[in-house]
Amino acid sequence: MARVTIDSGPVPDTLRWAVRLLRGEAVALALLAAWLIWADLTATKTDLVSALFVTAFAFAGAAALWALGAALVRRRAGARAPAMVLQLMLLPVGWFMISGGLGWLGVPLMVLGVGVCALLLSPPTTRALGFH
């Protein structure tokens, strides 16, 4: 029996940009985690368990964002919902940054979260992931 392959066509720009932004977030979070390691090692007084937990959480988040981007570029429909959940988590983070006087960082984070969700929900992305 011959194997049949279906040409799924090129990856739409909306999905490509969503993946780029997810991977950009992953790189930024990995850089933050690397800075946290430096901060952990050079701190004069710290709660080591909490410091390691926060650092590990940052690395895990970076790995999750990168993996979700990779799954989406391979058109794995199941990766869309977890990616959107991570993006929606940027809304309360951004809100608390705005409330704390860091609006210059909070507003772009909120816009990024909503923007990636919009890209993931756009009709071309929806079709590419097999949702009809």
DSSP alpha helix (H) spans, 1-132: 13-42, 48-73, 80-88, 90-99, 103-121, 123-128
HSE at residue 79, side-chain half, CA atoms within 13 A, is 20
Q: Which two tokens stand for residue 63?
A: 């790995």
Specify whether the CB–CB gap between 110 and 95 falls below 8 A.
yes
pLDDT digits (tens, 9 = 90+) for 67-122: 999 999 999 999 999 999 999 999 999 999 999 999 999 999 999 999 999 999 99
Average pLDDT taken over every residue of the chain:
93
For tokens 């650092």, the residue is 55
Instruction: Report whether pLDDT(3) > 70.
Output: no
pLDDT of residue 132: 75
Instruction: Report whether pLDDT(5) > 50.
Output: no
List Cβ neighbours of 120 (8 Å cut-off, separation of 6 or more): 15, 18, 72, 80, 83, 84, 87
pLDDT of residue 2: 55
Q: What is the percent of the chain with per-residue pLDDT over 70, rounded to a whole number? A: 94
Phi, psi at 7, each rounded to 5°: -80, 115
Specify whether the CB–CB gap between 17 and 120 falls below 8 A.
no
Query: How many residues make up the chain in this entry?
Result: 132
